Each structure stands twice: as C-alpha cells, then as structure tokens.
Amino acid sequence: MISSWLSIVLMLIAFAATTFAYPYVLAFARKHNIVDNPNARKLQRVPVPVMGGSAVSIGFLLAVIVGIAIVPNNNIIVFTILLMVMYAIGVWDDIKDVSAAFRFLVELVVVWMMILFLNVEINDFHGFLGIHGVPDSVSVPLSLVSGVGIMNAINLIDGVDGYCSTYGMMACAIFACVFYTAGDMTMFALSLIGIGALIPFFFHNVFGRASKMFLGDGGSLMLGTLLSYLVFSILTDGSQCDIVFGDTGLSLVALSLAVLAVPVFDTLRVMIFRVIKGHSPFHPDKTHLHHLFIEMGYSHLATSGLIVLGNIVIVGVLLLGWWLGAGATGQTLIVIASALLFTWGFYFFMEGHHRRNDGDGTVLWQRACRRGAKTHLSSTPIWRFLRHLVDSKLLGEGLLKKPVVAAVTKTNKPKLDPRLGEATNNAVKPVSSSESTSSLAEESHPKVGLDSTD
C-alpha cells in the first residue's frame, strides 16, 4: 500500500521531472515550429510554443512509473496507457488539427475502456433523488457522456494564462483530501502527482517570457482524463469513498459536481447559446466566463484566480449546506444553483451592464474595469523576480548547452519580432529574457476544445 510519505515523494518527483524536462520540450517546440499563431480573435500577439502539456506529461509519467515500481498496480498501468492515448491525440490536434469527430470517437473509446478495464463508473447516485445503485443501462451511457463532457469542459477553459493549471491544481487538491480521508492512498498519490506536475508549468505559463509555453490540447485533454478517472473512482458503488462517506451525509455526487462546477456549467452556457444563435456548439467565440473578466480589464492571473476562487466558494457553499443538514438531493441542488448563479447569472448581469450606454457600460461596469486595471502586476518587483527565475539559465532554455534556432531558408528568412524573438513567418528563434521588450506574461491563447480556436 502506498503511504502518505511516498505520495508526497512521488509529487516531488513529478515536480522535479517537469521542471527538468520543460526547457527541452520548449526547445523542441521552437525547433519544429509547434506554436499557437496569433490572429484577430486570439489574445497573444506573437506565436507561442504550445507543448507545455508534454512537459507536464513527462513529470506525471515518471512519477507514476516510480510509484508502480515500488507498489505494483495493474489498474494504474492501464489508466496511464489511456492517459497517454489522450495526450497523444491532443498533441496531434495541436500540430495537425484532428477532426472533431475522430477526437470525439477516441474520447468515447477511452472512457469506455476505463469502465471496462478499471471497473470505475457512475453507477451510484448516493441518495440523489432517493436513488442509489443504478443498472448498467443507465450507468454506462451516463459515464460515457460525463467522461467525455469532463474532458472537453477542461479543454475549453484553457483560454488564459494560468487558468487551466490553477483549476487543475485546485481540483486535484480537493480530490486528494477526499481520497486521503477515505483511505484510498493510490488515488491520493495520483492526485498529488497531478499537482506536482502542474506547478512548474504554471510558473512558466504565467510569469515566463522567453520560457513561456501554452498547455495545448495534449495537456488539457490529459488533465481532463485524469479528473474523469478521479471522479469515477469517487462515485463508483462500493468504492472506498462510498464506504467512508456513506454515513457522513455528505453527497459524493454533489461534491464531485461542485469541484467541476465552473468548467461544466460555463461550457453548458456557451454551447447552449451557440445553438440558440444557429451556430455549431463548437463554433469559436468569446463568450466564456474568462473572456468576460479579460473584457473588464483583469489580468490573466487575476482572471484565473477569481474564477477558481468562485469555484472554491461553490464547494464551500455545499459544505455549509451539508453542515446545516441538507440531504443528498438538497446538496446537489445547492451546487447547481450556486454554479448557475456564478457562470450564468454573473455573466449575463455584467454583460447587460456592458452593453448599456452605446457599449460604454454603466457606472458598475466602469468601476469593475477600473478594478481590473489594478490587477496588472507585471511591473512589480515580485513579478520581475519570478520572471527572471523561470527564464533563467537554471530553469529556462538557458539550461541547454546550445540555443535552439528554427531552420530558415535563405529565400524565406523571417524578420524577428523583438518581443519574444519570434519570426513573423512563424519560424521561431528564442532570445534571452533580457532581449525581450514587452510583457507577454499577461497574454495567452484561446485554442482549446473541439473548436480549436475557442
């Protein structure tokens, strides 16, 4: 059995491996021009490498291998294979743009394999609507829809710097507490490994300039697959969580939904209103909750922090309802109401104030914009210190013996963008952070989800 100390060691291994692998992945992405290119709808102004998920996957995979070597576990081996399949599909999508239908099919197969080989699924409502165990005719379709939905909901929130990684760390931390309380140390370790692998990427993604990378579809789909497995492991009938929490009155359905609240309900709102407008649910636009905060002038870090804080508040409201004696159905309804209030109510309320006065907005909107403007901290000493640290020779591409320069033909030699050493024809040539002249730490990409430009 995995001990709590071994779990922490595995988390540190994931952290160290991701930190070490990051500059090599960055160099590979630049050399092979695997970048997210700017356009009129995207938030960044220059091409940015889009293989951050590869560094995360290396750290995660190495920690899992060490854990399996110490405490063999066939289920974790199977899950890791499925995880790498989704990672590979995501990277392929980043490079070549996989068709939405094919990717959707792979997601269904991966979730079905989880159900078939790992014996995890949503087959117990844990008292919601007075229902407990449900037959396979209900649990299998529900699990397939939920698993694929979680994967794409996580994929769709990868729109600003730090959001997906911050949310991932928050979700893994809450699930880690649940598994630790239940005594499921294998899943506890898996949750901690996810946190350890995400931390280095978060700092490069948010504070880096020369070392900046985006998570990419490979990373976001991998994170979505991990969270799907964690949720299924909690909700499976007879799981350790079911046994331990069954007598506490805390609804595991409500708790899982609370942790997933913002990605799930924000994605539902966006897709429903796209369909109402006559568009495909995967049609790209700027109607996600994070777009609203960016529109109000908030920095990417503040946007990520406020949205994740909102999700934490939803979990807190659930726990308050449980403490006050709400039953399983009441707890779930509390989560749904709280999530709708934040992802739907707040969004439409602020958008309504924005549209008034010929688009200039009301006093409330303008006040929110002034507050948002105060969240840009890239010129502060602590931000400059963190940027220097992640772009340094120790952690950035300077760790490599030789700088990596993209191949350029004599007849098509690009003109370099001095902001990041990027070439205007998308051939990428890295420069040191001291040569960069504008902050890109507050910029990000909206290439996520089945709509690859969302």
Average pLDDT of each block of 10 consecutive residues along the chain (454 residues)? 93 97 93 77 72 96 97 96 96 89 95 96 93 93 96 91 96 98 96 98 94 93 97 95 92 97 96 89 86 95 96 98 96 98 97 90 94 93 93 70 43 36 36 35 38 40
Let me know if residue 311 belongs to a domain: yes
Can you tell me the distance from the alpha carbon of 28 to that of 430, in angstroms, rounded to the nearest whole number?
11
Per-residue model confidence (pLDDT) at position 39: 58
Is residue 446 in some structural domain? Answer: no
Distance CA 448, CA 176 (A): 26
Centroid of chain to Cα 412: 37
- Return the structure tokens found at 139: 């649990």
Contact call for residues 119 and 235 (beta carbons, < 8 A): no
The whole-number pLDDT of residue 202 equals 97
410 phi/psi in degrees, rounded to 5: -65, -35
Rounded to an integer, what distance in angstroms lies between the CA atom of residue 147 and that of residue 132? 20
Is residue 362 one of the residues assigned to a domain? no
Per the structure, the complete domain to which residue 61 belongs is given by 4-354
Phi and psi of 152, rounded to 5°? Answer: -80, -30
Q: Is residue 407 part of a domain?
A: no
DSSP code at position 124: B
pLDDT at 395: 79
Contact of 207 with 44, CB cutoff 8 Å:
no
Q: Are 420 and 413 in contact, with CB atoms under 8 Å apart? A: no
DSSP alpha helices (H): ranges in 236-260? 240-245, 252-259
Q: How many CA atoms lie within 13 A of 40 on its CB side?
A: 1
Position 263 in a domain: yes
Q: The whole model's pTM is what?
A: 0.87
Domain presence at residue 428: no
What is the pLDDT at residue 280?
81
How far apart, in Å, do the first and last CA atoms of the chain sit?
Answer: 42
pLDDT for residue 394 = 74
Write the CB contacts of 284 (distance below 8 Å, at least 6 apart in sequence): 41, 446, 451, 452, 453, 454
**How much is the pLDDT for 442?**
40
Q: How far is CA 410 from CA 6, 28, 154, 413, 414, in A?
A: 54, 22, 42, 5, 9
| Beta bridge mates, 36 | 48
The DSSP secondary-structure symbol of 422 reads: E
At residue 293, the pLDDT reads 96
Determine contact, residues 373/365, Cβ cutoff 8 Å: no
Residue with tokens 């392929």: 92
The whole-angstrom separation of Cα 307 and Cα 293 is 9
Number of neighbours of residue 277 by Cβ within 10 angstroms: 10
Strand 422-423 with 35-36, pairing: unpaired
**How many other C-beta atoms can be found within 10 angstroms of the C-beta atom of residue 102?**
12
pLDDT at position 397 is 62
Residue 375 placed within a domain: no
Are 426 and 410 spatial neighbours (Cβ–Cβ below 8 Å)?
no
420 in a domain, yes or no? no
The pLDDT value recorded for residue 437 is: 31
Determine the Cα–Cα distance for residues 29 and 177; give it in Å rounded to an integer. 36
Return the amino acid letter for 208.
G
Domain total of the chain? 1
The C-alpha atoms of residue 308 and residue 314 are separated, in whole angstroms, by: 10
Shortest CA distance to 252 belongs to which of 185, 311, 174?
Answer: 174
Contact status, residue 289 vs residue 296, Cβ threshold 8 Å: no
Give the pLDDT confidence score for residue 450 in this predicted structure: 36
C-alpha 249/C-alpha 323 separation (Å) is 9
Nearest to 420 by CA among 55, 19, 29: 29
Q: What are phi and psi of 208, to 5 degrees?
A: -75, 150
